[in-house]
Amino acid sequence: MKTTTTVFHGTSARSDKNLGTDLQRRRNSAPAQTQTRTLLPLTSNPKASRFSERVHQANERSMDASGDEGLATGSDQLMQAQAELWNHIFAYTRSMSLRCAVELGIPDAVHRLGGAATAPELAAALSLPPSRAPYLRRLMCLLAHAGFFSVSDDDATASYRLTPLSRLLVSAPGAGGGHGLSPFALAMLHPVVVSPSMSLASWFRAADARTAAARVPFEAAHGGRDLWAVAKDDREFGAAFNDAMACDGRFVMDVLVRDHGDVFRGLTSLVDVGGGSGGAARAIAAAFPNVRCSVLELPHVVTGVPPGERGGVEFVAGDMFENVPKADAVLLKWILHGWDDEKCVRLLRRCREAIPSRDAGGRVIVMDLVVGSNPADEKATETQLLWDVMMMGVVGSPERDEREWRKIFEDAGFSGYKIVAILGIRSVIEVYP
């Protein structure tokens, strides 16, 4: 776990040995053993840089080489580059194969079959035509290579087992079961979400903001409707999207409350702004009975939550940009990344008005993505960048690095913040008035 704490200069906030230095000073002077991170800028991609360096070296060798051996070396490097290019070109096949596996129910089927199954056994369990078994074997081969399943071919027929990746997709909870994240995979790979990526180039070229292509690509692909309008009009997609947000929220909150509950200790009240049907608030209330939890949501969301399913959580109907109920802490879970800086600052100001002073324990708890929060993990950084471009196409709002988070916190009048990277590609940010 890595933590970054920052207090803005020119504020009245207290200082201690971990506080009072700005981001630039920490980047320039932090010793290697400290927990302070130097974040990667949005444009930095070490993996891509190394690949570009390899291609550059290959080109130099190809141009400078004399004789057949040198030409062969240059050709080998070019073929390696082509193979990597093809890998990127056809990477969508991996995502679509994952969607296929989830739609068919393959992770659940392997789980029901005792944790291991051959392709013919899977075909039978899934009620697929026997003629599809050879094709299913090819699908499973790709998914196994990608790490979704492990494969044992001690016998004549390969047997596939669950891995940590595919166990995330298994519906059955508990020991030996899964975490039920299949709805998230289905929603994020839904044609409604994926189709706008086909018009990114035309969106970039559009100079006139009045043209359809100049809007957010999602809106251009869906007749001018934004994500929320499409989710309302398309009941199938709307249900899939709601299921995705609910399962992701349960997963993250289970981890946060179980392993990192200190963020809620000492509070007597908390309001979850934009908290949907109250899953996060109920998880906090169950783990910390002394914390009075409430949810601020739009009126139609509040009326859609039956009183018998509220679990002791109070629901308040309202507009988060106009007023936030008073509480010791405000929770913004996966909210700010959906809005531009201006709207974020406006919302954060309402949150600051709702909480007591820092000395009295007031804080805003932001659960969101900080690009480059773990620069040593290239896969995590790449995933954050993938998510950023996806958000650019779907809602237009940016994912932010620490510098960008700092700016909106400061513009909203906060005195400091602490980033704790404990939720995979996401972080918990405590923001202090």
The maximal CA–CA distance of the chain, rounded, in angstroms, is: 81
Secondary structure of residue 363 in the 3-state scheme? strand
Phi, psi of 319 (to 5 degrees): -110, 115
76 to each of 55, 61, 62, 72, 87, how far by Cα in Å? 11, 11, 10, 6, 17
**Catalytic one among 111, 179, 222, 337?**
337
Q: Which residue type is seen at 396?
A: G
- Which of 329, 321, 340, 341 lies closest to 365, judged by CA? 329
Angle at 161 between CA 156 and CA 165, to 5 degrees: 145
Secondary structure of residue 314 in the 3-state scheme? strand
Rounded to whole angstroms, how far apart are CA atoms 129 and 327? 58
Contacts of 316 (CB under 8 A, 6+ apart): 271, 294, 295, 296, 297, 302, 325
203 to each of 117, 198, 338, 340, how far by Cα in Å? 46, 10, 19, 18
For 327-372, list the strands marked E by DSSP: 329-333, 363-371
Q: Is 379 exposed, middle or buried (0-12, 13-18, 19+ CB in 10 A)?
A: exposed
Q: Between 235-259 and 279-287, two packed helices, what is the crossing angle to 10 degrees? A: 20
Distance of CA 323 to the CA centre of its chain: 27
Q: Between 46-64 and 68-89, two packed helices, what is the crossing angle to 10 degrees? A: 150
Secondary structure of residue 338 in the 3-state scheme? helix
Secondary structure of residue 225 in the 3-state scheme? coil
How far apart are the two ends of the chain, measured CA to CA in Å? 25
Rounded to whole angstroms, how far apart are CA atoms 6 and 4? 7
Q: How many CA atoms lie within 13 A of 171 on its CB side?
A: 11
Look up 337 and say whether it is catalytic: yes
Identify the DSSP state of 226.
Answer: -
Residues noted as catalytic: 337
